[in-house]
């Protein structure tokens, strides 16, 4: 599957008014009742710069590259379009291998008030409780790295706009966007943990079991009734629970996995499109090609030609 292509986060209004006082992690803060947005800029190479926040923080890269060192987590490169959630009172140790005066590294850190997070998790635990999970919905309890999808990218961009504008209602606007952002981030984390083909939760979580069942039977028709039976749920309850937990319907998930399998077959075999379509569970070649183009951004033939140039 392709990496989601998003436009760079726009901090132009911030750059017009901020004061540049430090060359390493120059910090500009925008504070509201429910959160604090910090924009950091580094203008020369540096190593082992430490940052700690008292509240859970969402860090998102804007420009350049960092190398992140987090407790109990392998070091990783941190690039634009990526984010990481870090628990409160946990120290981030950061390297800046490429920062320069004319090409600064830029990153934002969004610290969300615990009360705001608690309101969202309490609401979800009451109205959309997680299946086979005694802890319920949680945010910011562990490190979590993600590639921003389009909805999360748009929400972060919207928050930058709200924090840096001069509007008396910005607290109200920000609170609404923060609530959606927290929910989408938790759904992304749930997808990563439970829908991963290599998940270790299939024996203890019904939705993870269903995900593995889907991946084993992508070549044939799959019906909601069948999947609900695997989850020991009624059809309406299974459909609703799956969508609330992962932010996508079972059909959306099935199609995404079929397109991922088709992409792999296009990369690794010379089989014709009709055969690949059938092997991925598509009974209609035209529908397969239409869905592939929508999800990947190009036709199957174009994708194969791009991966394996003639």
Report the alpha-carbon distance of residue 99 to residue 103 in Å, rounded: 6
Judge whether residue 284 has pLDDT over 90. Answer: yes
Judge whether residue 259 has pLDDT over 50. Answer: yes
For the chain, the helix, strand and coil percentages under 3-state DSSP, each to the nearest 5: 45, 20, 35
C-alpha closest to that of 156 among 52, 5, 8: 8
Q: What is the DSSP string of 101-166?
A: TTB-EEEEEEEE-HHHHHHHHHHHHHHSPPTT-SS-S-SSSS-EEEE--HHHHHHHHHHHHHHHS-
Give the pLDDT mean for 78-106: 96
Q: What is the per-residue pLDDT for 5?
A: 56
Q: What is the per-residue pLDDT for 309?
A: 58
Judge whether residue 1 has pLDDT over 50. Answer: no
Q: What is the per-residue pLDDT for 307?
A: 78
Q: What is the per-residue pLDDT for 256?
A: 96
Give the pLDDT mean for 145-169: 96
Q: What is the per-residue pLDDT for 217?
A: 96
Q: What is the per-residue pLDDT for 7?
A: 81
Residue 213 DSSP label: H
Average pLDDT over all residues of the chain: 94
Report the alpha-carbon distance of residue 92 to residue 46 in Å, rounded: 14
List the domains of the chain with CATH numbers: 12-194 (2.60.120.280), 196-310 (1.10.10.60)
Residue 75 DSSP label: E
User: pLDDT-based confidence at 196, cuts 50/70/90?
Assistant: confident
Judge whether residue 180 has pLDDT over 80. Answer: yes
Q: What is the per-residue pLDDT for 199?
A: 85
Report the alpha-carbon distance of residue 254 to residue 280 in Å, rounded: 10
Residues 101-116: tens digit of each pLDDT:
999 999 999 999 999 9
Give the pLDDT mean for 269-297: 95
Share of the chain above pLDDT 90, in %: 93
Residues 160-169: tens digit of each pLDDT:
999 999 999 9
C-alpha closest to that of 139 among 93, 179, 79, 197: 179
Give the pLDDT mean for 110-130: 95
Q: What is the per-residue pLDDT for 2?
A: 44
Report the alpha-carbon distance of residue 264 to residue 255 in Å, rounded: 14
User: pLDDT-based confidence at 197, cuts 50/70/90?
Assistant: confident
Q: What is the per-residue pLDDT for 308?
A: 66
Give the pLDDT mean for 9-18: 94
Q: Which two tokens stand for residue 234?
A: 């009624």
Judge whether residue 3 has pLDDT over 60. Answer: no
């Amino acid at each position: 599957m392709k990496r989601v292509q998003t436009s760079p986060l726009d901090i132009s209004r911030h750059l017009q008014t901020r004061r540049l006082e430090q060359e390493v992690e120059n910090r500009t803060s925008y504070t509201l009742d429910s959160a604090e947005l910090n924009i950091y800029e580094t203008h020369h190479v540096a190593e082992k710069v430490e940052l700690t926040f008292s509240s859970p923080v969402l860090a998102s890269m804007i420009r350049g590259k960092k190398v992140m060192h987090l407790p109990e987590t392998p070091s990783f490169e941190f690039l634009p379009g990526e984010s990481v959630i870090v628990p409160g009172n946990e120290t981030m140790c950061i390297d800046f291998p490429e920062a320069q005066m004319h090409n600064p590294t830029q990153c934002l850190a969004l610290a969300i008030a615990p009360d705001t997070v608690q309101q969202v998790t309490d609401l979800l635990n009451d109205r959309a409780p997680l299946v086979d999970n005694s802890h319920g919905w949680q945010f910011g309890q562990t490190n979590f790295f993600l590639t921003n999808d389009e909805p999360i990218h748009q929400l972060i961009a919207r928050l930058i706009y709200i924090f840096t504008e001069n509007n008396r209602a910005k607290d109200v606007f920000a609170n609404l966007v923060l609530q959606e952002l927290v929910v989408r981030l938790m759904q992304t984390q749930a997808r990563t943990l439970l829908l991963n083909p290599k998940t270790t939760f299939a024996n203890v979580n019904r939705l993870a079991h269903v995900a593995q069942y889907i991946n084993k039977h992508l070549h044939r028709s799959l019906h909601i009734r069948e999947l609900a039976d695997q989850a020991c749920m009624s059809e309406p309850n299974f459909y609703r629970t799956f969508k609330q937990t992962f932010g996508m319907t079972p059909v959306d998930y099935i199609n995404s996995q079929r397109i991922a399998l088709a992409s792999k077959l296009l990369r690794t075999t010379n089989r014709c499109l009709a055969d690949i379509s059938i092997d991925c569970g598509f009974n209609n070649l035209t529908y397969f090609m239409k869905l592939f183009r929508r999800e990947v951004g190009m036709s199957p033939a174009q994708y194969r030609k791009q991966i394996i140039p003639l």
